[in-house]
């Protein structure tokens, strides 16, 4: 999927669910959650426990989706990728503790 040039920033939220209360299921869900978190750290910064802000080029956007789909259990887990267009980007308001800036990724 090709993205319009004006869209480069995204908010990614995920929810990894547990099917039952068995030890094995809880452990497997925790592993999936950790793997998804590590993938998202490759593209941006964590703003909440299961929310990341990422800056992507079209190629990276497709790569991110492919990587997450390999980990995701489609019957129970959810990942939402919300685009932030250039017009909305200038209106982002961040309150509270300042986000740790990594290079010029988040100007």
Domain range spanning residue 17? 7-89
Max mean pLDDT among 5-14, 28-37, 94-103 falls in 28-37
Q: Is residue 38 part of a domain?
A: yes
CA dihedral 34, 101, 94, 60 (to 10 degrees): -60
CATH number at residue 42: 3.30.70.240
How many domains would you assign to the chain? 1
Residue 91 phi, psi (nearest 5): -100, 5
Which of the two residues, 71 and 59, has the higher pLDDT score?
71
Q: Is residue 76 part of a domain?
A: yes
Which of the two residues, 22 and 102, has the higher pLDDT score?
22
Q: Is residue 96 part of a domain?
A: no
Q: Is residue 100 part of a domain?
A: no
Confidence of residue 5 (pLDDT cuts 50, 70, 90): low
Strand order in the sheet with 7-15: 44-48, 51-55, 7-15, 78-85
SS3 1: coil
The answer to the question of whether 15 is labelled as a binding residue is yes
Q: What is the pLDDT of residues 63-85, one digit of tens each?
A: 999 999 999 999 999 999 999 88
Which of the two residues, 106 and 41, has the higher pLDDT score?
41
């Amino acid at each position: 999927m090709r993205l319009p040039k004006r869209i480069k920033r995204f908010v990614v939220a995920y929810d990894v669910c547990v099917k039952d209360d068995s030890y094995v299921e809880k452990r497997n869900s925790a592993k999936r959650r950790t793997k998804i978190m590590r993938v998202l750290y490759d593209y941006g910064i964590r703003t909440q426990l299961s929310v990341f802000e990422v800056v992507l080029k079209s190629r990276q956007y497709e790569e991110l989706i492919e990587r997450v789909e390999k980990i995701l259990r489609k019957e129970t887990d959810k990942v939402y990728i919300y685009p932030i267009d250039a017009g909305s980007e200038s209106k982002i308001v961040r309150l509270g503790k300042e986000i740790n800036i990594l290079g010029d990724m988040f100007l």
